[in-house]
Structure 1
Amino acid sequence: MSPRIEDIPLEEFDLSLAGMRIMNPDLVSRVQDSMWLHGQLQPVVAREHEGKYQILDGFKRVYVAMDLMIKTLQCQVLDIDLQQAKLLILSYNRPHQSMEVWEEAMVLEDLLKTHDLSQQSLSTLTGYSRSWVSRRLSLIGKIDEEVASEIRMGVITSSQARALIKLPRGNQIDLARVIVDLGLSSRQSDRLVDAFLKAEDEDQQRRDILNHPEQILWDYVTDLPEDPNDARLSSYGNDLMISIMKFLQPARTLFLRIGDPPNQNVK
């Protein structure tokens, strides 16, 4: 049966494959803005499954439609089995690279376990190299379950997670909470993790890094580069960036002085 386009009521959609995608609130918000202004621009993709329509592509559009109280969505309905459906989740997002590496890893792991496929079979079916498949599966093996759950919920970003996998599983969730609470960038997350790994013992890890991560981060504030101009910014943007960097240098010194313990030799 060839694919067909239908208007499907929201209550008939099956979102059981949503666990293979990361819930990114920012992206959902962008889709909501677009659908509020322009309506649905392209159909969601689903397959018929147990009397419902199992979504393969367009999860964010379904979530937004629920929020906007839209009753139906245009849907491209495919006649495929579950294994083909999961492979299509990868292929639909391939041209515009909209899937994060962790999402690709979750789909591959599910195919490996649920459908008893080898890494070589996954490579053949997806059209990617075996090393591409292996690298993504290794990510899943290195991540703590609790951290993985936070990644799926969009609490921890993929860039933050890449820093966390350098840690033993037992230490990942503690550093993850610090990284999320402070909203650290990829580079800052790497710095914090590297400092944690270099700590002499568990006491130093907890005392200096988990309890006072700001001191580690401030230590990386350096002098202005010889040419601080960024070609991607306007002249106003560059002036603003330089002003902020100049402000940070004395602020760093003041911050560290305030945070220094009192001199024990002073009577």
Structure 2
Amino acid sequence: MDQTAATAQTLDLHRLELRYVELRVPDTAAITRLAQSIAVNGQLVPCIAVAGEGSAAILLDGYRRVAALRQLGKDTAEVECWDGDPIQGLLGVLARTRSRAFVPIEEALLLRELLSIGSLSQHDIARRCGRDVSWVSRRLQLITALSDGLLTAVRQGKVSTWAAVRILAPLARANSTHAEQLLESLHTTPLTTRQLATWFAQYQGASRTVRERMVEAPQLLLNSLTAKADEKSADRLREGPEGEVLADIRILDAVSARLRRRLYALAPSPVDLPPAVTAAVSALQPALAALQCHLRKGYSDEIARDSSSRADTASARSGAARDQPAVEAVA
């Protein structure tokens, strides 16, 4: 298939066969931005198609551009018509994805389509797309655990690709029933990406019984967390700065007790402690002495000295950091 020789031509939109529209993830905001750009500058990037039945052309890439043109009431599109069949065309589109903003699930759907309609193996597809086999395998794994219902929800824009890949896919691999229940709940009570991330973090640390309730009514958990946060905020407001100081003192007391236990577990005898640990513990003594001094003499002088000490320490650390060798990039 000679792509370099292909030139763009103007085609009526009704001649474009949208055969692979179900493999694309809709993005209303992106289509609107694209329509605004086309209205000002015209269609700068042609769509890509191969010949179909009769005068039709099978659209391979440019589904958002077609949607934007229709939004503007246009009847034609600039289309680059490639030679070859749809399989060759899809392979060519995938080969161009390094410079084109496909989302991973779209690439995975295109790969699955190629495997289903052709006689190509993953190795063949990887070679002809200019990728390695591991890339093909990783993309396919994104949708392996996703049910048809979840993929449909993603394609229809009801579930974001982020939620599908980061939350629903891992959940489906661990418990497919819970993934389906959560998806059903999201149909009736949609959640934002941040809410889903919060929900999943709580789910991972919950017991089996609690998880059952969480997937049935995810909004209840979020409402409960919001109520607790509001209650803590009200408590802080009611107790004022005095309450914050008391809370800090309780934290210091708890940390001190934990530190003593860990030091004893590390070395029952102080002489056996590593020098670095002994030095770090000794460095705490001035801070504790300064705190007691605050209570006896006042705050202003100690705060000034403490700020100066922190500045000197930060400067020393910065100088030490500059003397360190550069950290090499890790692949």
So what's the TM-score if we normalise by structure 1? 0.74
Contact 1:10 1:73 in 2 (8 A): yes
User: Equivalent of 1:131, from 131, 134, 138?
Assistant: 134
Say yes or no: does 1:212 pair with 2:220. yes
- Separation in 1, partners of 2:59, 2:25: 15
User: Equivalent of 1:62, from 57, 63, 66?
Assistant: 66
**Pair member with larger Rg:** 2
Gaps of 5+ in 2: 238-331
The equivalent residue for 2:104 is 101
- Separation in 2, partners of 1:91, 1:219: 50
- Separation in 1, partners of 2:52, 2:203: 48
User: Equivalent of 1:36, from 35, 39, 46?
Assistant: 39
Deviation of the 1:203 alpha carbon: 5.8
- Separation in 1, partners of 2:48, 2:231: 49
Per the alignment, in what secondary structure is the counterpart of residue 199 of structure 2? helix
User: Equivalent of 1:250, from 233, 255, 264?
Assistant: 233
Q: Which has the higher contact order (CA 8 A, sep 6+)?
A: 1
The equivalent residue for 1:47 is 50
Per the alignment, in what secondary structure is the counterpart of residue 166 of structure 1? helix
- Which amino acid letter does the alignment assign opposite residue 181 of structure 2? D
Gaps of 5+ in 1: 222-246, 255-267
Identity, % of aligned pairs?
25
Deviation of the 1:175 alpha carbon: 2.1
CA RMSD in angstroms comes to 2.9
The equivalent residue for 1:233 is none
Per-residue CA distance 1:164-217 (angstroms, 9 max, x = gap): 1111222223323555744422x5423322433443335653268525131465
Contact 1:57 1:92 in 2 (8 A): no
Per-residue CA distance 1:112-169 (angstroms, 9 max, x = gap): 2221322222221222222111111112111121111011122211111121111122
Aligned residues: 227
Q: 1:17 to 1:253 in 2, by over 3 A?
A: farther
- Separation in 2, partners of 1:65, 1:175: 36
Per-residue CA distance 1:83-120 (angstroms, 9 max, x = gap): 11111222233214x00110011011111222132222
Written as runs of structure 1 = structure 2, the 5 A alignment for 1:86-235 is 86-96=90-100, 98-162=101-165, 163-167=167-171, 168-176=175-183, 178=185, 181-185=189-193, 188-202=195-209, 204-206=211-213, 210-215=218-223, 218=226
Kindly indicate which of the two structures has a greater share of residues assigned to helix.
Answer: 2
Say yes or no: does 1:81 pair with 2:85. yes
The equivalent residue for 2:14 is 11
Contact 2:199 2:218 in 1 (8 A): no
- Separation in 1, partners of 2:186, 2:197: 10
- Separation in 2, partners of 1:207, 1:252: 27
